Amino acid sequence: MKYVDEFRDGDIAQQLIGKISAEMVVGREYRLMEFCGGHTHAIYRYGIPDLLPDAIRLIHGPGCPVCVLPMSRIDMAIELAVAHRVILCSYGDMLRVPGSTTSLLKSKAEGADIRMVYSVMDALTIAEENPDQQVVFFAIGFETTTPPTAIAIQQANKAKLRNFSVFCNHVLTPAAIIGILDLPEVRTEDSLKIDGIIGPAHVSAVIGSDPYNFVAQQYKIPVVISGFEPLDVLQSILMLVRQLNEHRVEVENEFTRAVTADGNLKAQALVQETLELRQEFEWRGLGFMPDSGLQIREAYCEFDTEKRFNLSNRRAKENKACECPAIIRGVKAPEECKLFGTLCTPDNPIGACMVSSEGACAAHYSYGRARVLPPTNECSS
Ligand code: SF4
């Protein structure tokens, strides 16, 4: 397939690995965080850690949108479907993420009208077909998925679709980068535990490469925006190794076939017109972070589910045995969780990171790169 096969060529991959190995400084470690769940998936799928020299350590970041949504927001979605009896439309992965006491999938089995959709436009169609029922779209995701949500809200407004609203849980990548780099576990007084960042692909196609400049300027960490194919990832690692060896700190763009410095200005304008910054938003593993999420602007407030149903934020206790928060922060790996591959598997996920294919635990498990141990019965909430 054009633009895919040529980025999966094994001979070129070997050449890139040879270059990376040859250019590495003997005795130094290169700790590189991939922020995006798409990269985490590609890294496991193509066995990239097995191909790289040991001194290159890949650290998974908080870029899986399903993983970073806190349990409290899943509980709110369940409340909408069960107590408010709306038709709740959600992406398939979200149905399986455990809430405090149940999941959307279990609530659906018990009779709630919860429907899996492939896009927000499916939810709009459901609203048009069911004028007597309230239809809520459970919107999640980073900057990649915000433009379609904005378009749907504007279309619903034009069509005067009064039974449609959006439960907005969109989050922002730059805020997540700040959240990670400011963690006491990552940033000590005189050093950072991350040497370089493999920057998101699709998110950057929307926001551009310029919004990462602060990482180089303030945190003195190089960033290379990378495509999702294995050769993209290897080329980006080589570019980061070169920057680090040459003591350069820049934002470079490996994914030039889709990402520009400014990004997609039309999509940005649509989002800007429809959504605005929340003062703060809760992230699994990172807590409440300022300016890290979006909400629906006052001009479109009738399509804001939280206002329509007077929902208020609540606290939810995460399962103590699940290491998702530490994995999202990049300070633990999936195999360090005692439940990994035993009580927690993709068929029976106990934490969010085992649900989506972009979640570190699911990707690690699915591509058979983990030693699976017998069950230990140590799950507690
Ligand atoms: S293996 Fe399961 S329980 Fe453990 S961190 Fe991953 S998702 Fe959470």
Ligand 1 centroid distance, CA of 339 (Å)? 6
Q: Are residues 291 and 335 in the same domain?
A: no
So what's the pLDDT on residue 381?
Answer: 38
Q: Are residues 257 and 351 in the same domain?
A: no
Ligand 1 centroid distance, CA of 320 (Å)? 10
So what's the pLDDT on residue 379?
Answer: 42
Residue 374 lies in a domain: no
Task: Give, using CA atoms, the residue closest to atom 3 of ligand 1.
Answer: 322
Q: pLDDT digits over 49-94, tens only?
A: 999 999 999 999 998 999 999 999 999 999 999 999 999 999 999 9
Residue 371 lies in a domain: no
pTM recorded for the entire structure: 0.92
262, 288, 318: which is the final residue of a domain? 318
Residue 301 lies in a domain: yes
Q: Are residues 105 and 242 in the same domain?
A: yes
Residue 117 lies in a domain: yes
Q: Which residues of the chain have a pLDDT value below 70?
A: 189-190, 368-381
286, 318, 350: which is the final residue of a domain? 318
Q: Are residues 55 and 108 in the same domain?
A: yes
Q: Are residues 233 and 89 in the same domain?
A: yes
Portion of the chain with pLDDT greater than 70, in percent: 95
Minimum-distance ligand 1 atom for the alpha carbon of 324: 5
Residue 242 belongs to domain with CATH number:
3.40.50.11740
Q: Are residues 303 and 355 in the same domain?
A: no
Residue 274 lies in a domain: yes
Q: Are residues 34 and 179 in the same domain?
A: yes
Q: Are residues 303 and 352 in the same domain?
A: no
> Among 340, 345, 347, 381, which is best to mutate for testing ligand 1, by the most ligand atoms less than 8 A from CB?
340
Q: Are residues 164 and 39 in the same domain?
A: yes
So what's the pLDDT on residue 188?
Answer: 75
Task: Give, using CA atoms, the residue closest to atom 7 of ligand 1.
Answer: 351
Residue 50 lies in a domain: yes
> Mean pLDDT of all residues in the chain?
93
**Can you give the chain as a three-state secondary structure string?**
CCCCHHHCCHHHHHHHHHHHHHHCCCCCCEEEEEEEHHHHHHHHHCCHHHHCCCCEEEEEEEECHHHHCCHHHHHHHHHHHHCCCCEEEECHHHHHCCCCCCCHHHHHHCCCCEEECCCHHHHHHHHHHCCCCCEEEEEEECCCCHHHHHHHHHHHHHCCCCCEEEEEEEECHHHHHHHHHCCCCCECCCCECCCEEEECCHHHHHHCCHHHHHHHHHHCCCEEECCCCHHHHHHHHHHHHHHHHCCCCCEEECCCCCCCCCCCHHHHHHHHHHEEECCEEEECCCEEEECCEEEECHHHHHHEHHHHCCCCCCCCCCCCCCCHHHHHCCCCCHHHCCCECCCEECCECCCHHHCCCCCHHHHHHHCCCCCCCCCCCCCCC
Report how many domains make up the chain: 2
Whether the CA torsion 206, 210, 214, 215 is positive or negative: it is positive
Residue 284 lies in a domain: yes
Q: pLDDT digits over 99-155, tens only?
A: 999 999 999 999 999 999 999 999 999 999 999 999 999 999 999 999 999 999 999
Q: Are residues 165 and 286 in the same domain?
A: yes
Residue 292 lies in a domain: yes
- CB 365 less than 6 A from any atom of ligand 1: no
Q: Are residues 304 and 343 in the same domain?
A: no
Q: Which domain holds residue 170?
A: 1-318
So what's the pLDDT on residue 186?
Answer: 84
So what's the pLDDT on residue 372?
Answer: 52
